Amino acid sequence: MGDCHFLEGNLRAKERVEYTKKLLNEIGLGEGRLEMFHIGASDAPLFAEAVEIMTNRAKELGPNPLKCGAEKAEAA
């Protein structure tokens, strides 16, 4: 890490992602809905793998639990 061509942007991004994961936990969404991958611009297979990982994770996690709760409250 730290090998970003934009100085330390990837390091700042990592800090922001970790902070945002904490926020997601606090509001009940769970940190699993967010992940940061270090992928070079020319590494298409790694990008495709990251997309597959996150797609599968989203399917496992299911719908937004906050939205589901709002829909139930509206239906009542």
* pLDDT by position in tens, the chain (length 76): 555 566 788 889 999 999 999 999 999 999 999 999 989 889 999 999 999 999 999 999 999 888 876 665 555 5
Q: Which of 55, 52, 50 is nearest to 40 (CA)?
A: 50
Residue-range domain boundaries for the chain: 9-75
Q: Calculate the CA 61 to chain-centre distance.
A: 12
